Amino acid sequence: MFVCGPTVQDHLHVGHAKTYTAYDLLARLLTHLGYSVTFVMNITDVDDKIFYGAKASGKSVSAYVKFYTSSFLEDMKRLGVNTVTSYEKASDYVDIMVEQVRTLIKKGHAYVSGSNVYFDVNSFPSYGRLSHESKVELALKPVDLATGKKSPLDFLLWREGEDDEPGWSTEWGRGKPGWHIEDTAISIKNFGAQYDIHGGAHELIYPHHEAEIAQAESLTGVSPFVRYWVHTGLLTTEGKKMSKSEGNVVRLRDVLDKYGADSLRFYIFQSHYRVDSIFDELELESAHQRLLDLRERISEEVSEVSYRQKGELLPRDKLSAELLGPLLDDLNTPLLWRRVEHLSKSMGSLPQNKQVRAVLSLGLVSSLTGVDFLGMDSSNKGTESCTQLCK
């Protein structure tokens, strides 16, 4: 699984948490089902926004990148995203990108224009396959205003750099890679010509993911490049995408300081991962309270003996199937939460053996979702505990 990671130009905002927890949940579930998951996430550390951000802050590009990369990794850890096998920095793959651009030119899929190199979209007939839009429709959404292109849909593979910014020397001049080729280099190097799952927020479908498909399939001749595309909805503020330029950013670390990862994940999973939702702190606050109440109710209602079983092995039974069912149906976390709520209300009146099973099932739900319903200690979370629980 490959998921588009952040451009390290700022601290993460809470919208990133919606995206990254969705793939974390998916990876935990797949691991539980017995799949061996290799989860690679890229870090975009070569980008104009980084260059201008560093300039504005008076820092060197490398100090700026280092600062926001550690901030990102720290936030992911605090958020409980512990399924990523490796984070790959774009700057470590520039040689491969240059080689890929060369190959695309050689194969007639790309052309040099001045010191820029463009992908020739007309050389790839199925462009638009992912977004289900024709080239005519896509042409109404210009990707950039660069000049020297043969067609408005063509996108940059390599672009001319300015003298004072980081750059790499090539036969086309000193410059830097286009954004889309960064992920193609990282994913092909790690997974080869074809792999299973590619994720990212749905706003990346066009042009980013269409471009990735065009590049990869033109390079390798293998189709499909990716077997399953999984796109997440956005977490917006008042209906607008959270972004530095909109000035409506809620920093993830501030939310984690105030509510913690369990409550934030509980809140995020109240909505389905594919749906856009609006970040509302009052709703987060009430989700936080609901989780505390649930935890308290469960620990009070359940007998000491049953409660002590938490974290033990869960036998496959009707109850565990009932709780796993919603997750197996396209990660239907809102339905899962309703079932957890329902179960918590009836636990007190269950006979001892069923109560134990209920505790074990909630332990499994906790380890899959990263939302602790049982007051388990922090070492008993995430994939490690899932592996222990499930095998």
Least distance (Å) between residue 317 CB and Zn ion: 41
CB-nearer residue toward Zn ion: 178 or 326: 178
Greatest alpha-carbon span in the chain: 77
CB-nearer residue toward Zn ion: 5 or 161: 5
Strands (E), the chain: 2-3, 40-43, 86-89, 110-113, 116-119, 155-160, 168-170, 173-177, 195-201, 226-232, 235-237, 240-241, 277-278
Burial class (CB in 10 A: 0-12, 13-18, 19+), 250: middle
CB-nearer residue toward Zn ion: 183 or 262: 183
The answer to whether 161 touches 108, Cβ cutoff 8 Å, is no
Is residue 188 part of the contact set for Zn ion (CB under 5 A)? no
The interface region with Zn ion, picked from 150-158, 180-188, 277-285, 308-316 by CB under 5 A, is 180-188
Instruction: Report d(CA 360, CA 366) in Å as an integer.
Output: 10
CB-nearer residue toward Zn ion: 131 or 380: 131
Is residue 183 part of the contact set for Zn ion (CB under 5 A)? yes
CB-nearer residue toward Zn ion: 179 or 337: 179
Could you tell me the strand order of the sheet in which 240-241 lies? 240-241, 235-237, 277-278
Least distance (Å) between residue 186 CB and Zn ion: 9
Q: Which residue is at the shortest CB distance from Zn ion?
A: 4
Least distance (Å) between residue 361 CB and Zn ion: 36
The interface region with Zn ion, picked from 4-12, 47-55, 159-167, 350-358 by CB under 5 A, is 4-12
Tokens 């890229």 correspond to 42
Least distance (Å) between residue 265 CB and Zn ion: 23
The answer to whether 112 touches 156, Cβ cutoff 8 Å, is no
Q: Is 86 helix (H, G, I), strand (E, B) or coil?
A: strand
Is residue 4 part of the contact set for Zn ion (CB under 5 A)? yes
Least distance (Å) between residue 179 CB and Zn ion: 7
The interface region with Zn ion, picked from 177-185, 260-268, 300-308, 378-386 by CB under 5 A, is 177-185
Least distance (Å) between residue 200 CB and Zn ion: 6
Three-state SS annotation for 92-107: HHHHHHHHHHHHHHHC
**Element spanning 253, H or E:** helix 252-268
Least distance (Å) between residue 347 CB and Zn ion: 43
The site for Zn ion, by CB under 5 A, has a size of 2
Which residues are at the interface with Zn ion (CB under 5 A)? 4, 183
